[in-house]
Amino acid sequence: MIDEREWRETFAGSFRGDVKFGVSLKERTSLAIGGPCDVLAEPGEPVSLRNMLVVLEPMGIPFFTIGGGTNILVRDGGIDGVVISLRNLSRIEVIREGNADAELFVEAGVGLQRLVNFCKEKGYAGIEGLAGIPGTVGGAISGNAGSYGCEMKDVVVSVAVMDSAARLDRQAASAMGFGYRRSGVRPGELVLSANIRLARDEPQAVSSRTEGFFNEKKKTQPLAERSAGCVFRNPANGPAGRLIDEAGCKGMRMGGVEVSGVHANFFINRGSGTAADYQHLMDEVVSVVHRRFGVVLEPEIRVVGKT
Ligand SMILES: Cc1cc2nc3c(=O)[nH]c(=O)nc-3n(C[C@H](O)[C@H](O)[C@H](O)COP(=O)(O)OP(=O)(O)OC[C@H]3O[C@@H](n4cnc5c(N)ncnc54)[C@H](O)[C@@H]3O)c2cc1C
């Protein structure tokens, strides 16, 4: 536990950025569920992040990195220590533009849809399928976000990663251990930025593909509701959403959380939902699907914090 006075004494002069205390993580997650964190720190630049990390570890203060909060379930007891958001690291720069392709430097706090729109306007092809996925570039790299056959790993050239002792490393994409909804980014490591490579195309063509994917997503996913995206990973024998649907779970409800009627792998917070409701519903769906198909669903969302 670190309080406001201790924070100010420890970091006076060495941290530039935004700091808030006792913030409810309901305000920082797309589910609008989650208890508070002791400190929410949003460094203004990497040096302040570094200055903070070198002190937190020896002081034994834990930290958790949050992006857009669109793929996590924060438990009702909240998160001890410091929640770090990199949303102030929000630069997109074109570092090379050739005839056939272009390379961009993108910071972790850039909204994924801001990047998708930037590429649409410039005629940079490769991430059209990511249209409509909320969250940040840091979160998309950490979980290798993807849809419509397009994954973040397809465009990443290298990633700048800082570890909990504030050591900075640049890793080639081939060394990142990307796989289905995962990367080699370990707990305690922070993605600061990435270089990504995209093919050049007519802006009109990129725009039309992006809009096509976005329209498809709007039809098949409850984009406007409070969810954390897909709850479960797709097992080997088909989409988790289809199994949940065929097991008859659409509309199933625990407290304020309900299985979406639009896409069964999305759980919706109807307003008063808690993390406990969400986890009870997960347990119930896992057990119904197991009884019906003999398949054990594994979570895709990351569950963090204390009960
Ligand atoms: C309506 C809706 C639709 C969605 N559709 C899709 C989809 O089609 N495909 C898909 O893949 N996902 C989808 N998602 C899930 C989610 O949007 C993505 O997984 C997204 O990439 C998560 O990014 P985030 O910034 O919100 O990460 P968060 O949810 O904040 O964090 C997720 C994980 O990444 C880690 N993390 C975040 N930022 C960093 C960083 N800078 N460095 C290190 N670790 C970090 C966190 O610690 C956490 O473990 C959807 C979600 C919603 C709500």
Going by CA atoms, what residue is nearest to atom 21 of ligand 1?
Answer: 140
223 Cα: distance to centroid of ligand 1 (angstroms): 14
How far apart, in whole angstroms, are the C-alpha atoms of residue 235 and residue 141? Answer: 21
Fold for the domain defined by 92-220: 3.30.465
CA 86 to ligand 1: nearest atom: 41
Please indicate whether residue 71, judged by its CB atom, sits closer than 6 Å to ligand 1: yes
Residue 245 three-state SS:
helix
Going by CA atoms, what residue is nearest to atom 51 of ligand 1?
Answer: 229
Please indicate whether residue 111, judged by its CB atom, sits closer than 6 Å to ligand 1: no
CA 64 to ligand 1: nearest atom: 47
Residue span(s) of the chain under CATH 3.30.465.10 come to: 92-220
68 Cα: distance to centroid of ligand 1 (angstroms): 7
Residue span(s) of the chain under CATH 3.30.43.10 come to: 4-85
181 Cα: distance to centroid of ligand 1 (angstroms): 10
Name the residue of 106, 115, 142 whose CB sits within 8 Å of the most ligand 1 atoms, as the mutation to test its pocket.
142
Please indicate whether residue 185, judged by its CB atom, sits closer than 6 Å to ligand 1: yes
CA 112 to ligand 1: nearest atom: 21
Catalytic residue numbers? 181, 230, 300
Q: Is 4-85 assigned to CATH 3.90.1150.10?
A: no
204 Cα: distance to centroid of ligand 1 (angstroms): 28
**N-term to C-term CA, the chain:** 17
pLDDT of residue 209: 98
Please indicate whether residue 46, judged by its CB atom, sits closer than 6 Å to ligand 1: no
Contact indicator for 97, 118 with CB cutoff of 8 Å: no
Q: What are the distances in angstroms from CA 33 to CA 75, 98, 138, 181, 278? A: 8, 45, 21, 22, 9
pLDDT of residue 188: 94
pLDDT tens per residue across all 307 residues of the chain: 788 999 999 998 899 999 999 999 999 999 999 999 999 999 999 999 999 999 998 999 999 999 999 999 999 999 999 999 999 999 999 999 999 999 999 999 999 999 999 999 999 999 999 999 999 999 999 999 999 999 999 999 999 999 999 999 999 999 999 999 999 999 999 999 999 999 999 999 999 999 999 999 999 999 999 999 999 999 998 999 999 999 999 999 999 999 999 999 999 999 999 999 999 999 999 999 999 999 999 999 999 999 9
241 Cα: distance to centroid of ligand 1 (angstroms): 18
Domain 240-304 is of which CATH architecture?
Alpha-Beta Complex (3.90)
Please indicate whether residue 31, judged by its CB atom, sits closer than 6 Å to ligand 1: no
pLDDT of residue 3: 87
Please indicate whether residue 301, judged by its CB atom, sits closer than 6 Å to ligand 1: no
pLDDT of residue 279: 98
Residue 35: left if φ>0, alpha if ψ -120 to 50, beta else—which one? beta
237 Cα: distance to centroid of ligand 1 (angstroms): 24
Q: What is the pTM for the complete model shown?
A: 0.97
Reported residue count of the chain is 307
Contact indicator for 222, 263 with CB cutoff of 8 Å: yes
Please indicate whether residue 133, judged by its CB atom, sits closer than 6 Å to ligand 1: yes
Residue span(s) of the chain under CATH 3.90.78.10 come to: 240-304
CA atoms in the 13 A half-sphere facing the CB of 109: 14
Please indicate whether residue 143, judged by its CB atom, sits closer than 6 Å to ligand 1: yes
Please indicate whether residue 66, judged by its CB atom, sits closer than 6 Å to ligand 1: yes
How far apart, in whole angstroms, are the C-alpha atoms of residue 281 and residue 253? Answer: 7
